[in-house]
Structure 1
Amino acid sequence: MEATIVNGAWKGHLGHGLAPRELQYLLSAAQGKTAKEIARLHGVAACTVAKRLSCAMFKLGVNRQTAMVAEAMRRQIISPMCFVLASLIAMHTMIGDDAMRRDRRTPERRTAQVRMVRQAERPTLTA
């Protein structure tokens, strides 16, 4: 059984090369929190959080926090917990519930009115 860490709407998997604290701070960074906010949340200094995040970025081979989150998702180290919502939407699509679907039709009447107005605006040439 694989150990996981859940932080907000994100789930992280241990055993993929990141230390538990690095993974914890990575999950907070994935939620859009700054190093100061993460430090306040976990009761550590902001420089500690910055150091752990830079170590995680080095291990993942990236230079920016957004790239770190994207690379961690690509390697399946972290994943958003919104798969339940996505599966519900997919099931709705398979069921074929027409009440949820909104057909977009071209506004035929409006197009015809615009053409008539433009034709009326044309200058008539009289000789």
Structure 2
Amino acid sequence: METITEGSWIGRLGLGLAPRELQCVLAVAQGMTAKEIAKLLGIAPGTVEKRLSAAMFKLGVLRRTAMVAEAMKRQIISPLCIVLAGLIAMHAVTGDADPMRRDRRVPERRIAQVRIIRKAESFDLHA
């Protein structure tokens, strides 16, 4: 299945929306206005309004926020952070231990040694 990526959102083609409608819905999901979308896509703001109204009709909603929510509910669009979280979870499940990964030790011990040495040096200077 083909996808369209706009900003931090990903949309899936073939689930009821035309490609331009899907691009407009993804832009609305990012919080863009019709004028901003028109500038981004290189089309007139009136055309953007028509694409959005067609998408709202196909999804059976009357408001833009409801359009984004319905598109997410039908899994037509989704934020990339969900995809990234899924990839991270899948990597954790596989159990591959990365040999380059190294846990950091607590640096308290080294700091304490430096303080002891500095105190010893200060005693030597005053003596």
CA distance in 2, matches of 1:86, 1:55: 32
Count of residues in Structure 1 that have an aligned counterpart in Structure 2 = 90
Divergent runs of 4+, >4 A: 85-89
Provide the aligned C-alpha RMSD in A: 1.7
Structure 2, gaps ≥5 residues long:
93-127
Q: 1:20 maps to which residue? A: 19
In structure 1, how many angstroms separate the alpha carbons of the residues matched to 2:64 and 2:45?
Answer: 15
Mapping of 1:65-76 within 5 angstroms? Answer: 65-76=64-75
User: Residue 87 of structure 1: CA displacement?
Assistant: 6.7
Deviations 1:53-102 (A, max 9, x none): 0000000000000000000000000000002247759x99xxxxxxxxxx
Paired with 1:49 and 1:58, the residues of 2 have a C-alpha distance of: 14
Structure 1 stretches lacking a partner, 5+ long: 93-127
> Residue 13 of structure 1 aligns to which amino acid in structure 2?
R
More helix by share: 2
Q: Equivalent residue for 2:46?
A: 47
Distance, in Å, in 1 between the alignment partners of 2:26 and 2:60 is 17
Q: TM-score, normalised on structure 1?
A: 0.66
Question: Are residue 35 (structure 1) and residue 61 (structure 2) matched?
Answer: no
Residue matched to 1:102 = none
Q: Quick one: percent identity of the two aligned structures? A: 63
- Secondary structure of 2:46's match? helix
